[in-house]
Amino acid sequence: MATLVTALLTGFVPRASAAPIGTVGDPGFEEQNSRVISAPWSGEGPDYKGIDIDLGYGKTGRKNAFIRTSSRNWNAITQKVTVKPQTVYYLEGWVRTSGNYTTGYFGARGTNGRTIVQKNYGKVISNGAYQLLRMAFNSGTNTSVTLYAGYNAPGADSWVQIDDISLVDNPYGDGNWAGYAVPSSPVNAAPRAVAAVWTEPAFTCRQENPDNQLSVWAGLDGLAASATESLVQVGVHATCRGDLYPQHQAFWEVINAGVDTLEQPVPMVVQAGDRMSASVVRSSADPANYILTIDNLSRPGQRQTLTKRAPAARSESAEIIVERPHVLTLGSTWPKVVNVPFSYVTVDGAPLSAYDALPLQGRQADTGTVYSPSPATTDSGGYSNFTLSSHQG
């Protein structure tokens, strides 16, 4: 009950937050006011393209861009973006396709029109799921780049839906998440299960660290940032309340299309140093149901299994995360020293090495401390292991 008690005493409730998005103009197409593409976006090629509005086709929000054609022409959705020369940028976007072509391309061109970076897409791995495309590039001498997502049609009816494009020179900023995420992609099917074991971290509180907070959790969805995001998670939240050591509380949380339950306590004894196990599994019988399990392996009889509903969630990513939670009215800070070893990590029963897993890094801006995962290793049992730790950036 620590989370609820903290809310009563201080007036704030921790809540989940998704990975940050970039500064591309109208990244989710939510500012488009008609079916016709308008600035800052534009189109390439002669065939049918535009904006879907309130059709339920978007990755997030009410709108998305689309291209649909049966020609063999090149067609794309594009935007010219100002960049800093000689800077590393991270480009991300989500696409969903008809699946009858493999000639889709997402990337960036320089001011001379030449391709700087590009990723191929087209094949559908999981029916109805958006796929995350992510890449890094150096801007070189360019002061602007043209982002594009398009395809050469196969001469038969085909389509692509595009949403949530971002371009950032620091993908983490003052990020709240650190750990690993496995998104759906051209090589990863939409994850349906995630599991991990960790040692609950210890840190200090009191005068110099009164706002330290830390959540450790496993979850599905939530990688894309949006007001209508979905996320299903279970884990442990540690909160300072003026004591010498934080109070640890097991919790579950569901965000369904932006509607957030906030962290809800799971009755269980948890202390620093305890070995915790958590898993989230999307039900095969009813995909709107998620089975959440949390178990204190150091204290027999503390296992809890819950079933929660998230009809809007699509399980398009899996996460094993250490987080500095957002709060509604007051700030929170990362503890200066963090060390969380993870073991028995799987996504759909396979280790992280089986996927195009993304390492995520957090940062406390005022101290310059960075929170990042070590490279994941795979043991003889087919499980992944890594440690999330703090260091000076």
Per-residue model confidence as pLDDT tens digits over 302-356: 999 999 999 988 777 899 999 987 644 356 788 889 999 999 999 999 999 998 7
Asked if 257 and 312 count as a contact pair (C-beta separation under 8 A), the reply is: yes
* Backbone angles phi and psi of 10, in degrees to 5: -115, -15
pTM, full prediction: 0.71
2-20+172-392 and 42-168 agree in CATH topology: yes
- Give Cα separations from 27 to 138, 352, 360, 361 (angstroms): 21, 29, 21, 22
The answer to whether residue 172 scores a pLDDT higher than 70 is no
173 pLDDT band, cuts 50/70/90, is very low
Give the closest residue to 25 by CA, choosing from 77, 103, 88: 77
Residue 21's pLDDT is what? 39
The answer to whether residue 281 scores a pLDDT higher than 90 is yes
Question: What is the homologous superfamily of the domain 42-168 according to CATH?
Answer: Galactose-binding domain-like (2.60.120.260)
Asked if 61 and 30 count as a contact pair (C-beta separation under 8 A), the reply is: yes
**Residue 351 one-letter amino acid:** P
191-226 as b/e, with b when 16 or more CB fall inside 10 Å?
bbbbbbbbbbbbbbbeeebebbbbbbbbbbbbbbbb
DSSP secondary-structure letter at 315?
A: -
> For 9-25, what is each residue's pLDDT tens digit?
333 344 444 443 347 99
How far does CA 99 lie from the centroid of its chain?
A: 24
Q: Does 362 or 231 have the greater pLDDT score?
A: 231
- 128: tokens are 């109805």
Asked if 222 and 231 count as a contact pair (C-beta separation under 8 A), the reply is: yes
Q: Where are the beta strands (DSSP E) in 314-392?
A: 317-323, 326-327, 339-347, 358-360, 362-364, 369-373, 377-378, 384-392
The CATH number assigned to the domain with range 2-20+172-392 reads: 2.60.120.700
Residue 6's pLDDT is what? 31
**What are the boundaries of each domain within the chain?**
2-20+172-392, 42-168
- Give Cα separations from 334 to 20, 185, 389 (angstroms): 17, 31, 11
188 pLDDT band, cuts 50/70/90, is low
Bridge partners of residue 65, in order along the sequence? 51, 162
Residue 373's pLDDT is what? 92
